[in-house]
Amino acid sequence: MPGALDGLVVIDFTSHLSGPYCAMILADQGADVVKVERPGCGDDTRQWGPPWLAGHDGGESAYFLSANRNKRSITVDIGTDPGRRVIQELAATADVLLENFRVGTLARHGLAPADLLERNPRLVVCSISAYGQRGERAAEPGYDAMIQASGGLMSITGAADEEGGSPQKVGVAIADIMAGMYATTAILAALQARARTGRGQHIDVPLYDSQVAWLANQNMNFLVGGQVPGRLGTAHPNLVPYQALETRDGSLMLAVGNDRQFAALAECLGKEALASDARFARNRDRIANRAALIGIIADILRTETTGYWLERLAKAGIPAGPINDIGEVLTNAYAQERELVRQMQNTNGDSVPTVANPVSFADTPVHYERAPPLLGEHTDEVLREWLGYSAERIAGLRDDSAI
């Protein structure tokens, strides 16, 4: 059964995480995604190990494997005239070209979005960069951690100062991932616009602007309330009780979202009077008296085990959950029921685990057809299929070190 994007032709001219993650989503949904890499070394993340597939240096790094399934890989050197012509010809046949080079790099090689769109007016070109394609910071480089820091996320992540905390980054490259998600939706929107107008366009997705945009309610807390949000550890700035709390043998995450749920929690804890206490009856009251309420709840939760409380809270319809490590998440019964981990096989015969795409389509399912590719393994195949190159022409490009 074809995927939702079956027939869409995508050039993934990206490395690291933001672009590859975007391209992988498109590939999962059926697009023919060709990853263009540098001859000899490829995407930097191929070397970002350990750990390595098959347990040895020289294999594919786990990092690379996380964002490159369902793609084909070709190697092209755009520093050569023949290599540049290959990219120009590929772009002339494609629907989408995704790139995350330093701003100006492609232009220096005659591959600027305007140049590509002149040759193929239906092309959608999506550029991901640190600070966007225009402006005084456009030429600056940027990696995820510095964007998390400068874009505000680290200022609200970590325990509060009075608890001995300091600014922390998120444990995955979330600024990269979210920029990739914004890029995915932008590409799909541009394709829908093309269906109406017949024209492609250039999309500009900055990591920094994306990071700022998805601070969501914390942005509005400042813009409306005038107070700069700070770090609260696991606690929520707008809801109480909504944080991790200790039990007799561990911890759990409690997430009370409204006054009705709080009343149910008070009953579950054997403290029904809390729900009518003027200090705690409404969410605004609970925020004003956060410390007092959390102290009461924490003392009660410490009297029983995590399992005991999770069972009681679930029966009462109160959102709460265990604080699982990743090993538990990927091996527990829910992971098996939902098939969160799939197995693929690469052309070396290695079994490659992958975490499933979370979206289920009723009629156009996600496919797991290609393990993350070996470097350049599809170069000849793509040049034959997309451009009709002969074996002799491909051999000549290889002799010229263009591929």
| Contact assessment for residue 8 and residue 96, using Cβ atoms and an 8 Å cutoff | yes
Q: What is the CA radius of gyration of the chain?
A: 25
Pick the catalytic residue from 12, 77, 176, 204: 176
Give yes or no: 176 in active site: yes
User: What is d(CA 251, CA 233) in angstroms, rounded to the nearest whole number?
Assistant: 14
Hey, which residues does 320 pair with through a beta bridge? Answer: 254
User: What is d(CA 283, CA 240) in angstroms, rounded to the nearest whole number?
Assistant: 7
- The sign of the torsion formed by the CA atoms of 26, 29, 32, 34 equals positive
User: What is d(CA 226, CA 220) in angstroms, rounded to the nearest whole number?
Assistant: 9
Nearest by Cα to 374 from 11, 109, 37, 81: 37
Of how many residues is the chain composed? 403
Nearest by Cα to 231 from 305, 169, 314, 141: 169
Cβ-Cβ contacts under 8 Å for 245 (sequence gap 6 or more): 251, 252, 253, 254, 294, 297, 298, 301
* Secondary structure class of 354 (helix, strand, coil): strand
Let me know how many helices (H) and strands (E) the chain has, helices first.
Answer: 17, 11
* Secondary structure class of 32 (helix, strand, coil): strand
Would you name the residues annotated as active-site residues? 176
